[in-house]
Amino acid sequence: MASVDVGIGLLGYGTVGSSVNRLLVESADEIERATGHRLRVVRALVRDPAKERPFPAGDEVLTTDFAEFREDPNVQVVAEVMGGVQPAGDYVRELLRAGKPVVSANKQLIARDGAELFATASEAGVQLRFEASVCAAIPVVKVLRESLVVTNVHRVLGIVNGTTNFMLSHMERGGSYADALAEAQALGYAEADPTDDVSGADAAAKMAILATVAFGSRVGYEDVERRGIEELEPAHVSAAAQLGMVVRLIGIATLVGDAVDVRVQPALVDRAHPLAAVDGAFNAVMLQGDAIREITLEGPGAGGIETASAVVADLVSVVGTSGTGFLQNDACWRSLAKLPSSEWRSPFYVHLEVSDRPGVLAHVTSRLASHEVSVAQLVQKLEDGAATLELVLHRAPYGAVAEAMREIAVFPEVLRPPFVLPVITERGL
């Protein structure tokens, strides 16, 4: 096969963009063997061409003019590696309309504007790929789309934010939330403003994208129930340890009949569960389905070169499958309802601080029983006339647990609002 040059345009030339260029240069032979094409960066849109960059692009490559970038006939495939919802979204939209396939590493853009962007791509008949937008080099989008096409994945569990996973691992060894954050910042895992990570916003965007691909129905960022790790206290972490569990920020997407539930929140994870073993800043995604039982993918979920490796894999797939109708875009083909949060079922953990009076335990358990919620495990600790109850509840609808907790919260002997987290023990074995 004669080798053909394919011109690549980069939207952005920061850490990820320069790594994409480096990989394309250093792996040109590998790519040519895989596709019959040589991929070469011919244009990169940047704000400041004078800025010093780790792997500089050629002299004629950088431009600050989007119209010039868009009109350049040598730009045949685009990689969006600039981040941010705007102006990235407008650029991607215009490029798709101009008939250029786009590969994006931008989770917030795909999770928020996916519906419109994929429709634009379909109308234009070009591909929009997004492997790098979720968990960097872990190829979970390709695996869901291509390898598990007939397996009816019904549950996706993930640790998809490395910063919070690092922080929670740190708290497990005895640190406070503030210590853990400071350590993550010192090591470069957390930004100066860590809000996106600790609030679960970053993880929610990734879970929206994964749920969309897994279930074939659009889940946007705003459809994801979200709770951050800010209110976690060392007491919760040590209570988890006593129960044989760890606390992790978990993404859970569940298909229940014709409805979908997607959530990101701290959860207690059984120590024997594979997600409990995910190290520090690593990510892991567990896919449970009919034919596969359970497949877990684990690896670095962030990093410039790791993300660039996924961008390049998508560029290679675009070039390798263009002209076929194979697995274009995100393949939403149905519109599933959102499961009412009250119907979402899980085992739960409850941390309850009460004054130590006779009958309080009976009072609590009878309230739970009246909502048909039963107790699997109970640890009671006494200190200075107050008691801490650590309860693990059997699998129950969240609505029933929440209702029982509302009733329990107003008991005179309950000192603080009950603190409730889901518990992850289930496997698809």
Write the single-letter amino acid at 378: L
For the chain, the C-alpha Rg in angstroms (whole number) is 24
Q: CA 18, CA 46: separation in Å to the nearest integer?
A: 11
* 200 is an interface residue for a copy of itself by CB under 8 A: no
* 321 is an interface residue for a copy of itself by CB under 8 A: yes
Q: Sort 211 into a burial class: Cβ within 10 Å, 0-12 / 13-18 / 19+.
A: buried
Which window, 65-73, 253-261, 326-334, 377-385, contacts a copy of itself (CB under 8 A)? 326-334
Q: What are phi and psi of 401, to 5 degrees?
A: -65, -45
**Closest CB to a copy of itself among residues 47, 293:** 293
Shortest approach of a copy of itself to residue 90 CB, angstroms?
A: 29
List, by residue number, the catalytic residues: 206
* 306 is an interface residue for a copy of itself by CB under 8 A: yes
Contact 210, 158 (CB under 8 A): yes
* 137 is an interface residue for a copy of itself by CB under 8 A: yes
* 147 is an interface residue for a copy of itself by CB under 8 A: yes
Residue 354's nearest CA partner among 403, 268, 422, 417 is: 417
**Sole binder of a copy of itself in the list 60, 324, 358, 385 (CB under 8 A):** 324
**Sole binder of a copy of itself in the list 295, 373, 401, 405 (CB under 8 A):** 295
Q: What are phi and psi of 205, to 5 degrees?
A: -60, -45
Residue 60's nearest CA partner among 82, 80, 43 is: 43
Shortest approach of a copy of itself to residue 272 CB, angstroms?
A: 8
Shortest approach of a copy of itself to residue 142 CB, angstroms?
A: 6
**Closest CB to a copy of itself among residues 135, 232:** 135
Q: CA 75, CA 9: separation in Å to the nearest integer?
A: 5
Q: What are phi and psi of 169, to 5 degrees?
A: -60, -40
**Sole binder of a copy of itself in the list 113, 172, 298, 330 (CB under 8 A):** 298
**Closest CB to a copy of itself among residues 274, 399:** 274
Q: How far is CA 356 from the centre of its chain?
A: 42
* 173 is an interface residue for a copy of itself by CB under 8 A: no
* 138 is an interface residue for a copy of itself by CB under 8 A: yes
Contact 311, 79 (CB under 8 A): yes
For 198, half-sphere exposure in the C-beta direction (CA atoms, 13 angstrom radius) is 20
My answer on whether omega of the bond before 87 falls inside 30° of 0, hence cis, is yes
Q: CA 49, CA 64: separation in Å to the nearest integer?
A: 7
**Closest CB to a copy of itself among residues 86, 324:** 324
What is the token pair recorded at 160?
């998809």
**Closest CB to a copy of itself among residues 4, 115:** 4
Our separate counts of H helices and E strands in the chain read 14, 17
Contact 72, 43 (CB under 8 A): yes
**Sole binder of a copy of itself in the list 323, 359, 385, 412 (CB under 8 A):** 323
Shortest approach of a copy of itself to residue 136 CB, angstroms?
A: 8
* 124 is an interface residue for a copy of itself by CB under 8 A: no
**Sole binder of a copy of itself in the list 83, 175, 300, 399 (CB under 8 A):** 300
Shortest approach of a copy of itself to residue 110 CB, angstroms?
A: 18
Q: CB neighbours (10 Å) of residue 352?
A: 25
Which window, 57-65, 176-184, 221-229, 288-296, contacts a copy of itself (CB under 8 A)? 288-296
Q: Is the dihedral of CA 129, 131, 133, 136 positive or negative?
A: negative
Which window, 130-138, 207-215, 250-258, 401-409, contacts a copy of itself (CB under 8 A)? 130-138
Q: Is 107 helix (H, G, I), strand (E, B) or coil?
A: helix
* 83 is an interface residue for a copy of itself by CB under 8 A: no
* 255 is an interface residue for a copy of itself by CB under 8 A: no
**Restricting to residues 5-24, which ones interact with a copy of itself according to CB under 8 A?**
19, 23-24
Shortest approach of a copy of itself to residue 428 CB, angstroms?
A: 9
Q: CA 291, CA 313: separation in Å to the nearest integer?
A: 26
**Sole binder of a copy of itself in the list 192, 291, 362, 382 (CB under 8 A):** 291
Q: CA 126, CA 322: separation in Å to the nearest integer?
A: 8
Q: Name the site residues for a copy of itself (rule: CB under 8 A).
A: 1, 19, 23-24, 26-27, 30-31, 33-36, 131, 137-139, 142-143, 145-152, 216, 274, 277, 279, 290-300, 303, 305-306, 308-310, 312-313, 316-317, 320-327, 331, 333, 429
